[in-house]
């Protein structure tokens, strides 16, 4: 398993339906779950929280929490469900995370993080990795970041995903934390220079294959997030330009392959809108993209959408010549 390009864990985005959809576009990127809280796994419906389609693989399970015991047990359960990696979230700054003192809050408690990582690795044979930020609040100097990574390295963790912004705890909303703190890529590059034996993955504000190529000159891998969710077919460019894979399905072919999955999932109790909402950006930048977004929003991304409409979706694409270089919208 390689981490040359990964799709970031994103709350309310990278659920199992999104991951299945993205895998139809790219066979090489590493996919991540949304952050799943270890306490929820301990107390909740494990099958509902952790089940996934084997065609999503390789896929990493991201855990949130601060109890070494609960994180360790969740790691073991994740391995039993078939995940390929266990990732500890040390970067999320949401209010829920701050209230429960995990995610980015744990950067303040490095010794607790060490305990968590040691316990997790003792319970699973899977690689345990870390996703964190370059700092928090007023702590944003390179020395602090170096010392933090150097300490965690002693646990045996070898892969670190570094979001190139600091977390502003208690001051910014999650959305503001994704935009306002400045990106400091040079700090991540410096980490790789100083920890040549570690796998360093860079994250934050990356939206094109050219950017990915430039980052890969300095670090081992790149994690992209919002750009994929808003324009998922960027993964086709990544397959061609980063992985040298020219066997790429067209946008229409992706929808054709998705239809049987949709029907099967709806039979099992999923709602049509839960799946199709992830495809809204598929035709981004193409002729007919506005029609596609409008049609989905009005017909398939409403709560009680009728699954029978999926049978006509390819006709809608053809009639409106979506993705056709000279097509016009009716």
Of 285 and 156, the structure prediction assigns the larger pLDDT to 156
Residues 270 and 214 in one domain: no
CA nearest neighbour of 165 among 147, 192, 145? 145
Q: Which two tokens stand for residue 280?
A: 């809204």
Q: Considering 213, 241, 269, which residue would you say is the last residue of a domain?
A: 241
pLDDT of residue 19: 98
The string of pLDDT tens digits covering residues 36-47 is: 999 999 999 999
What residue numbers bound the domain in which 132 lies? Answer: 5-241
Q: What is the mean pLDDT of residues 183-200?
A: 98
Residues 175 and 306 in one domain: no
pLDDT of residue 89: 97
Give me the catalytic one of 6, 13, 92, 301: 92
Query: In the annotation, is 105 catalytic?
Result: no
The string of pLDDT tens digits covering residues 130-189 is: 999 999 999 999 999 999 999 999 999 999 999 999 988 877 777 787 778 899 999 999
Model confidence at 2: pLDDT above 70: yes
For the chain, the domain total comes to: 2
Residues 125 and 266 in one domain: no
Residues 118 and 152 in one domain: yes
pLDDT of residue 282: 95
Residues 151 and 47 in one domain: yes
Q: Look at residue 153 and tell me if it is in a domain.
A: yes
Helix/strand number for the chain, H first, E second: 16, 9
Confidence of residue 328 (pLDDT cuts 50, 70, 90): very low
Q: Look at residue 114 and tell me if it is in a domain.
A: yes
Q: What is the mean pLDDT of residues 316-322?
A: 68
Q: What is the mean pLDDT of residues 61-82?
A: 98
C-alpha–C-alpha distance, residues 133 and 79, integer Å: 26
Model confidence at 329: pLDDT above 90: no
Q: Considering 182, 206, 241, which residue would you say is the last residue of a domain?
A: 241
Residues 195 and 221 in one domain: yes
**Strand (E) or helix (H) holding 191:** helix 185-194
The string of pLDDT tens digits covering residues 11-56 is: 999 999 999 999 999 999 999 999 999 999 999 999 999 999 999 9
Cα-based angle 24, 27, 30 (whole degrees, multiple of 5): 110
Residues 127 and 159 in one domain: yes
Q: Look at residue 131 and tell me if it is in a domain.
A: yes
Residues 180 and 108 in one domain: yes
Q: Look at residue 324 and tell me if it is in a domain.
A: no
Q: Look at residue 246 and tell me if it is in a domain.
A: no
Cβ–Cβ < 8 Å for 6, 223: yes
Q: If you compute the radius of gyration of the chain from its CA atoms, what whole number of angstroms results?
A: 20
Q: Considering 190, 220, 241, which residue would you say is the last residue of a domain?
A: 241
pLDDT of residue 84: 98
CA nearest neighbour of 33 among 96, 95, 99, 85? 85
**Strand (E) or helix (H) holding 150:** helix 142-153
Report the CATH number at residue 219: 3.20.20.70
Q: What is the mean pLDDT of residues 83-109?
A: 89
Q: For the residues of 229-286, what is the DSSP string, one character each?
A: HHSTTHHHHHHHHTT-------HHHHHHHHHHHHHHHHHTT--HHHHHGGGTTTTTTS
Confidence of residue 239 (pLDDT cuts 50, 70, 90): very high
Residues 234 and 300 in one domain: no
**pTM for this one?**
0.93
Q: What is the mean pLDDT of residues 215-232?
A: 97
Of 180 and 235, the structure prediction assigns the larger pLDDT to 235
């Amino acid at each position: 398993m390689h981490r040359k390009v990964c799709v970031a864990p994103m709350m309310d985005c990278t659920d199992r339906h999104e991951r299945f959809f993205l895998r139809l576009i790219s066979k090489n990127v590493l996919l991540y779950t949304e952050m799943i809280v270890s306490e929820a796994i301990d107390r909740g419906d494990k099958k509902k929280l952790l089940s996934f389609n084997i065609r999503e693989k390789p896929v990493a399970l991201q855990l949130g929490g601060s109890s070494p015991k609960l994180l360790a047990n969740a790691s073991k359960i994740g391995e039993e469900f078939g995940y390929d990696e266990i990732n500890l979230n040390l970067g999320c700054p949401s209010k829920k995370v701050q209230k429960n003192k995990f995610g980015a809050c744990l950067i303040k408690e490095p010794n607790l993080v060490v305990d968590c990582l040691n316990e997790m690795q003792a319970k699973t044979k899977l690689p345990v990795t870390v996703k964190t930020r370059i700092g928090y609040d007023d702590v944003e100097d390179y020395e602090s970041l170096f010392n933090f990574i150097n300490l965690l390295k002693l646990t045996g963790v070898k892969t670190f995903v570094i979001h190139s912004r600091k977390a502003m705890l208690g001051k910014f909303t999650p959305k503001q934390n994704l935009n306002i703190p400045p990106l400091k890529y040079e700090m991540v590059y410096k980490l790789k220079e100083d920890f040549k034996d570690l796998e360093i993955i860079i994250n934050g504000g990356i939206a094109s294959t050219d950017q990915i190529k430039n980052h890969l000159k300095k670090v081992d891998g790149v994690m992209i997030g919002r750009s994929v969710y808003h324009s998922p077919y960027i993964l086709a460019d990544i397959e061609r330009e980063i992985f040298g894979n020219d066997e790429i399905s067209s946008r229409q072919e992706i929808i054709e392959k998705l239809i049987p999955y949709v029907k099967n999932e709806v039979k099992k109790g999923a709602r049509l809108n839960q799946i199709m909402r992830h495809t809204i950006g598929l035709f981004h930048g193409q002729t007919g993209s506005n029609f596609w977004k409008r049609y989905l929003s009005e017909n398939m991304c409403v709560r009680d959408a009728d699954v029978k409409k999926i049978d006509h979706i390819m006709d809608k694409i053809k009639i409106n010549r979506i993705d056709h270089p000279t097509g016009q919208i009716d």
